[in-house]
Chains A and B, each alone.
Chain A
Amino acid sequence: MAARIGIFAVVVAVFLSIPAFSSAQDLQIVNAERRIDLSSHIVKAFLTLKVENIGKSAAAEMLLAFSPTQIKNLAMVQALAITGKKKKKTYLPLDVKPTEQPDAPNDTGYYRVTFVSPLGPGETVSLEVLYILTHSLEPFPVEITQSESQLVYYHDSAVILSPYHVKQQTTFVKTPSTRVESFTSIEPANRAGKEIKYGPYENRASYSYAPVIIHFENNSPFAVVEELVREIEISHWGSLQITENYRLTHGGARHKGVFSRVDYQSKRSVSGASSFNALLAVLPPRVNSVYYRDDIGNISTSHLRTGFRKSELEFEPRYPLFGGWRATFIIGYRVPLEDYLFEASDGRRYLNFTFGCPLVETIVNKLTIKVVLPEGSKDPSAILPFTVNQDLQVKYSYLDIVGRTVVVLQKDNVVPTHNVPFQVYYTFKPIYMLAEPFMLVSAFFFVFVASLAYVHIDLNIARK
């Protein structure tokens, strides 16, 4: 009996230890190259990793580690496996999922990358990882006047934070202009033009960290949508009405002191360098009835260019946005239904639409997409390539009796790379389409019948 328990315990122990063992100790990064692009307010980092399995058993996955400040602002992580050499390179997308490790030091956050096929002992694999950080450029000074340009801090580590041993690594940081006030130097490190190079560093142990601060000029528009509510209303009569409610703000250094229109008009290059007054939204190709308005009426400063692949709406808020200034507005448009609504093989209908925010180069702090299904739709379900909060609501529109089912998808920290298609499936009987016209027709019919009756009825008591 005791022996049995002993065997059982050993088996359990072996099973438990396998993932931790293989991921933490058996892998090492032979070569790592990181390129951080700081040219806009969305920080993009490309990692090229060459991973080798030095353990004895096959490894199915590996971990990517991020510091606590980064994990908070991490909008997206994508990984690709590179197979083939040089010109015959092929990229295979890998499954990336956030995960937690019990023994994570200093609240390190992790993402788990699952390989295409388990990595055998001694084998190597090349990976390309892209991760995007938002709100990671901290303006300093926090407040600037109209004539100053915007300087920001970027905090990171000169060496890659990794649970694995890294044999050799280099980091390149690209700044938007040549004006770099200062950067932490960790030898070997040097700056040439718009690029700062850290490394190469040899043989860094797991969880090595070398904090660096880069203080540089960044006057790109810090367009942050604090909240975006997109409502997609499906009408089976042939169109899709999209209404987008924006709450936009300038997320950069706050504006202080005067706003001088003379300076803004005459010395455009040096005045209000970090402000922006034009935005670009990429809309679907066959878009029509586009409007751009806010709480107090139509805004006349917008231009629409329609094309075969996409339409572009170029528009200006009512006033230029300086740091900390806000603007709210609504963009609405209509697209033909046949481009986006399809019938699945099992008879269900599905909407295939783009997630994310149509504005280019903007961060959305909180995105809510409401898909308003036609009245009478049942069993809605949404399919997305990443996790979002889902909810169901009921909305009443013109002539609704039971209300329309609304599928609410909510996600925080959305960047343009989230603009990927998603699907909402539902069942719908076409007969429901006729309900509202029928109601109207019958209402008018009864009005006429009633007036007919009224005209013909004599309500007088006395006979004429």
Chain B
Amino acid sequence: MIHEFDPYFNYRTTLFLTEKGFYEFWNWFDSESWYPLGRIIGGTLYPGLMVTAALIYWALRFLRFFVHIREVCVLTAPFFASNTTLVAYFFGKEIWDTGAGLVAAVLIAICPGYISRSVAGSYDNEAVAIFALLLTFYLFVKAVNTGSLAWALGSAFGYFYMVSAWGGYVFIINLVPLYVLVLLITGRYSMRLYIAYNCMYILGMLLAMQIRFVGFQHVQSGEHMGAMGVFLLMQVFYFLDWVKYQLNDTKLFQTFLRITVTSAILVGGIALGVGTASGYISPWTGRFYSLLDPTYAKDHIPIIASVSEHQPTAWSSFMFDYHILLFLFPAGLYFCFKRLSDATIFIVMYGLTSLYFAGVMVRLILVATPAVCLISAIAVSATVKNLTSLLRTKQKVSQTGSTKGAGSSKASSKVTLDQSQPFQKNGASALLVGVFYLLSRYAIHCTWVTSEAYSSPSIVLAARGAHGNRILFDDYREAYYWLRQNTPTDAKIMSWWDYGYQITAMGNRTVIVDNNTWNNTHIATVGRAMSSNEDEAYEIMRSLDVNYVLVVFGGVTGYSSDDINKFLWMVRIGGGVFPVIKEPDYLVNGEFRVDKGASPKMLNCLMYKLCYYRFGELTTEYGKPPGYDRARGGEIGNKDIKLEHLEEAYTTSNWIVRIYRVKPPTNRL
């Protein structure tokens, strides 16, 4: 079964791709969402995931395995996660040694931060993107290490796959140039680096332009300009090298250097300035800004800030997702700095930048996970290796003299250590036990987290009953299936955008807004309708041709992520476009309330009415007055709600989803 919100859209598009073929998919104009605007699907999505799933599907069909596309979709994420562990092994091997690779593979295989997006059913872009990301990095590092054109080519293709799969490719196109820049500054410029970067950048860019959604962003958007700049810088470096070789005169070269560098910077600066001013190069997007400055979104773009995944990460969730890796990470950094090479510089930079981004946005923990796993693996592997070699040398000394010379220098250092520390062997074995204890705790933690937090689809809510038995609230699907079966096929459903994808995929009905938040005004219109009173809302709904309104309400079950709790975001987003809606109107002394003390505007807005319609007659909890809202713990303020333009069409068994029918206008005789 498919989880969450976005995967439903991905599933729907994959289904379309397998049924209609590639060209139809490319040209698909979806009229079922964003009514009445529609959405050009082919041009506004990252097709990597769908194409991957479709290819797997067709391959299996060809091999006479008649699987359903749903099964392929559900299992794509775990399949790619297993590939990721393989890549992690090779990556670890490339930057440190096989031991580190092995540990990295083990760590990433069970790390909750990655499992959260790679469980079966989590059919999202990230599922394949993390694999693509790690693969690109691995191939690039390999290319830098070997200077081989083939690996650079591979890395370019990896990058292409990444671009086709996820918007997070921006991270690659900024990290890699940054890394190259750092290498240049630290004087580690080499021919290998030149080959690797140039090949990867040029080919990667050209390939990425083939993806319609990305298009010419590589040469036009501000986010990609860094890569371009570094590319030019590389050429300058190479040119200077050549001139230096040709001139063979230091003084002359110094003046030449000065002239070229100033002119290059000047030309670059002017080009950038002209490009930006003329609008050819677009400025950074809001999401990019909010990454660099965590407070940006809060002030400027409420729609980005309203998504819980975009909130800054809490310490607890770092602990939850990384556990001991959080402590091993600095240790790993220490080892990396101790043995500095091109590869370790890369992983250090990857680790540090991604960890910063993970701190800014919860969902980017995912990007940081491979780096954290790799660096921690280095720490574990190096420690264990040191400790075991310590133990071994002791044994060697006591038992026999000569063995195969694995590392004579190590042995000699051990000998010197031997003299200084008397309880070395005991200490080493104690530490070793400690390491294994930590790792086993990690394994236990990971299994626990996976089973508790990531195993159950969020669409089915589970609770414990009074006798400890499990109660399932399958209300979402109940409502969506009801829509699918019992409403006219051309019905338009208005709901908050969170449920858009699910309604189109499971309910098979047209929605006004959905999770692809490309049109802020349209969402604001819905937000405005929800926060207006019924008459005004009716006008808006009539103009949008809405037939049904769907709200999510947790007052009966105590489900807290319902529409009333999201309501302030609707007000904010609606108010961002329509100044009629003012947030303070819905608050009382800066407080959001639903009980008798709530503001009159709140008590009469559409959302309030739809959620609490006839709720006042219901006793939800023993010993509490009727109309007691369990999600917010209070008796509602307006129990006598009359609806004029809408009527209740369906309410699920636990009241979580309520659907209202918009009545046709009354005859004016």
Contact = CB atoms under 8 A, between A and B. Distances in A.
Are these two chains actual partners, yes or no?
yes
Interface of A: 257-262, 265-266, 294-301, 318-319, 324-328, 396-401
Contacts of B506: 295-296
B66 A294 contact: no
B486 interface: yes
6 contacts: A257-B647, A259-B648, A259-B649, A300-B474, A397-B66, A401-B64
B651 interface: yes
Count chain A CB atoms within 10 A of each CB in B480, B617, B650 and give the residue with the most.
B650
The 3 closest A-B pairs by CB, nearest first: A261-B651, A318-B478, A326-B485
A227 to B, nearest CB: 14
A258 B485 contact: no
A294 B506 CA distance: 11
Nearest to B64: A399
Nearest to B470: A300
Contacts of A266: 617-618
B592 interface: no
Contacts of A294: 481
A319 B478 CA distance: 6
B486 A325 contact: yes
Contact of B64 (A262, A318, A396): A396
B477 interface: yes
A278 to B, nearest CB: 13
Interface string B456-500: 000010000000000010100110111011100000000000000
Contacts, number: 73
A297 B477 contact: yes
Contact of B650 (A301, A319, A401): A319
B652 interface: yes
B62 interface: no
B650 A296 contact: no
B652 A319 contact: yes
B617 A327 contact: no
Nearest to A259: B650
Contacts of A324: 486
Nearest to A265: B618
B425 interface: no
B460 to A, nearest CB: 8
Nearest to B482: A319
Contacts of B460: 300
Nearest to B659: A259
Interface string B611-636: 00010011000000000000000000
Interface in B473-532: 474, 477-478, 480-482, 484-486, 505-506
B65 interface: yes
Contact of A398 (B64, B648, B653): B64
B631 to A, nearest CB: 17
Count chain B CB atoms within 10 A of each CB in A265, A295, A325 and give the residue with the most.
A295
A233 to B, nearest CB: 12
A327 B480 CA distance: 12
Contacts of B648: 258-261
Contacts of B65: 398-399
A322 to B, nearest CB: 9
A260 B655 CA distance: 11
Contact of A258 (B472, B649, B652, B655): B649
Contacts of B617: 262, 266
B64 A296 contact: no
Count chain B CB atoms within 10 A of each CB in A318, A327, A399 and give the residue with the most.
A318
A328 B508 CA distance: 14
B1 interface: yes
A400 B506 CA distance: 32
Contacts of A400: 64, 66
A396 B474 CA distance: 34
Contacts of B481: 294-296, 318-319, 327
A298 B64 contact: no
A294 B507 CA distance: 12
A260 B66 contact: no
Interface in B418-475: 460, 472, 474
A387 to B, nearest CB: 33
A260 B560 CA distance: 23
A318 B474 CA distance: 8
A440 to B, nearest CB: 11
Contacts of A297: 1-2, 477
A318 B482 contact: yes
A301 B654 CA distance: 14
A149 B66 CA distance: 48
B472 A398 contact: no
Count chain B CB atoms within 10 A of each CB in A259, A398, A399 and give the residue with the most.
A259
Contacts of A257: 647
B614 A262 contact: yes
Given A318-B482, A326-B486, 17 more contacts: A257-B647, A258-B648, A258-B649, A260-B648, A261-B651, A262-B617, A295-B481, A295-B484, A295-B506, A301-B474, A318-B478, A319-B478, A319-B482, A319-B650, A319-B653, A325-B486, A401-B64
Interface string B58-75: 000000111000000000
Contacts of B661: 258
Nearest to A327: B485
A266 B647 CA distance: 19
A318 B651 contact: no
Nearest to B480: A296
A446 to B, nearest CB: 13
Count chain A CB atoms within 10 A of each CB in B1, B2, B486, B661 and give the residue with the most.
B486
Interface in B301-316: none
A327 B478 CA distance: 11
Contacts of A259: 648-651
Contact of A298 (B1, B66, B649, B651): B1
Contacts of A326: 485-486
Contacts of A300: 460, 472, 474
A297 B653 CA distance: 18
A261 B655 contact: yes
A293 B505 CA distance: 16
Nearest to B618: A262
Interface string B636-669: 0000000000011111110100000100000000
A26 B655 CA distance: 69
Contacts of B650: 259, 319
A300 B655 CA distance: 17
Contact of B485 (A260, A262, A328): A328
A258 B486 contact: no
A296 B507 CA distance: 9
A258 B505 CA distance: 25
Contacts of A265: 618
A142 B650 CA distance: 21
A294 B484 CA distance: 12
B368 to A, nearest CB: 32
Given A258-B649, A262-B617, A319-B652, A299 B474 contact: yes
Given A294-B481, A325-B485, A260 B64 contact: no
A328 B481 CA distance: 9
A319 B484 CA distance: 12
A463 B484 CA distance: 68
A299 B460 CA distance: 10
A298 B460 CA distance: 10
Nearest to B473: A300
Contacts of A399: 64-65
Interface string B588-619: 00000000000000000000000000100110
Contacts of B478: 318-319
A324 B484 CA distance: 14
Interface string B106-134: 00000000000000000000000000000
Contacts of B477: 296-297, 318
A224 B505 CA distance: 27
A86 B484 CA distance: 57
Contacts of B486: 324-326
A396 B652 CA distance: 40
Nearest to B614: A262
